[in-house]
């Protein structure tokens, strides 16, 4: 049986990536090795780990091409927020750190509030607050 799951993503510049994700509130994974080719962050209450690797290192993990995410989405990485304000703050922080908001915070279906941003390398992130007490029965 599996013990953990984590996400590995390719990036062009580790220092810029580290600065970006630190500015939006992710916490550095202090247990990961310090390197100029890797940055590791813990996200959320359960410390989900996201590792960012330089493209050269990432390419060594797989025989496949790195996806061109300029005009495509390889996946949508979703983050569960505590409230609407946290959604808006993360979107604001992402924009201020150099990312691009592709969907401003807004209501959906009466029980969700969310928006999305694109990081410095084109990866798409979705930030949602879900109020299940308002979920249609």
Closest CA to 21 of 96, 115, 105, 106: 96
Please provide the average confidence, as pLDDT, over all residues in the chain.
94
pTM score: 0.92
Domains 1-61 and 73-137 share a fold: no
CA 118/CA 100 separation, integer angstroms: 5
pLDDT digits (tens, 9 = 90+) for 46-99: 899 999 999 999 999 999 999 999 989 999 999 999 999 999 999 999 999 999
Domain ranges for the chain? 1-61, 73-137
CA 58/CA 4 separation, integer angstroms: 20
The domain 73-137 is placed in CATH, from the list 3.40.50.1370, 3.40.50.720, 3.40.50.1220, 3.10.180.10, at: 3.10.180.10
Token pair, residue 124, equals: 């798409």
Q: How far apart are the first and last CA of the chain?
A: 35
pLDDT reading at 106 higher than 90: yes
pLDDT range class, residue 2, cuts 50, 70, 90: confident
pLDDT of residue 136: 85
Closest CA to 123 of 62, 58, 60: 58
Q: Does domain 1-61 have CATH number 3.30.720.120?
A: yes
């Amino acid at each position: 049986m599996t013990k953990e799951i984590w996400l590995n993503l390719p990036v062009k510049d580790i220092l810029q990536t580290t600065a970006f994700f630190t500015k939006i509130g992710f916490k550095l994974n202090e247990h990961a090795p310090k390197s100029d080719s890797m940055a590791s962050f813990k996200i959320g209450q359960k410390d989900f780990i996201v590792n960012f690797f330089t493209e050269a290192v990432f390419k060594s993990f797989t025989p496949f091409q790195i996806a061109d995410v300029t005009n495509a989405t390889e996946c949508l990485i979703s983050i569960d927020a505590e409230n609407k304000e946290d959604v808006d703050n993360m979107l604001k922080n992402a924009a201020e750190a150099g990312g691009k908001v592709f969907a401003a915070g807004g209501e959906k279906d009466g029980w969700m509030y969310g928006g999305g941003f694109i990081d410095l390398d084109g990866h798409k992130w979705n930030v949602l607050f879900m109020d299940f007490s308002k979920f249609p029965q």
